[in-house]
Amino acid sequence: MDNAHIDALVDKYHNDPSYLIQIMLEIQEEQNWLPQEDLERVAKKLDVPMTRVMHIATFYKAFSVVPKGRHQIHICMGTACHVRGAGRVLDTIRETTGISPGETDLDLKFSLETVNCLGCCALGPVVEIDGKTHGKVVPGEMAAVLKTYE
């Protein structure tokens, strides 16, 4: 994001430091992560210490200070999904994408995370991609599902 865009975003909130999290959320939404130089610009414009900005960026799970893929994959590893084969589904996702939980592929196409529950246990195993829930996932079908996210 260029400096003019960051400046406009901060100006939108009247340079008010109480909107720091909202500004960071908007940057994250646009770029899928929070680049260091963008955070430094926000800190300077709001006149807040960079340590405060980084504390927020690293405290909340919604924020990422490393690049994330265009498509976010969350696989439930909770009890109901686990006993229904979530581990095998995860293995298929690893093989198909070449990444493990907590990683992003080199093309910035996919990021993979495991979660403890997605709140739809009856549909287990469950995979959520970009907010869309895929229930009763079969390992053999996962590669085809991922191909739809080209």
pLDDT tens-digit map of 50-94: 999 999 999 998 899 999 999 999 999 999 999 999 999 999 999
Please say if the pLDDT value at position 150 is more than 80.
no
What value does the mean pLDDT take over residues 108-126? 95
Q: What are the residues whose beta carbons fall under 8 Å from the beta carbon of 54, sequence distance 6 or more? A: 39, 65
If pLDDT is split at 50, 70 and 90, which confidence band does 134 have?
very high
Q: Is 92 left (phi over 0), alpha (psi -120 to 50) or beta?
A: alpha
Residue ranges covered by each domain of the chain: 3-59, 71-147
Q: What are the residues whose beta carbons fall under 8 Å from the beta carbon of 50, sequence distance 6 or more? A: 39, 40, 43
* Number of other CB atoms surrounding residue 49 within 10 Å: 10
How far is 23 from 43, CA to CA, in rounded Å? 11
Reported as a single tens digit per residue, the pLDDT across 16-49 is 999 999 999 999 999 989 999 999 999 999 999 9
CATH code of the domain made up of 71-147: 3.40.30.10
Please say if the pLDDT value at position 101 is more than 80.
yes
Task: Look at domain 3-59 and name its CATH class.
Answer: mainly alpha
Reported as a single tens digit per residue, the pLDDT across 40-58 is 999 999 999 999 999 999 9
Q: Record the pTM.
A: 0.78
Answer whether 3-59 and 71-147 agree in fold. Answer: no
CA dihedral 89, 61, 102, 66 (to 10 degrees): 140
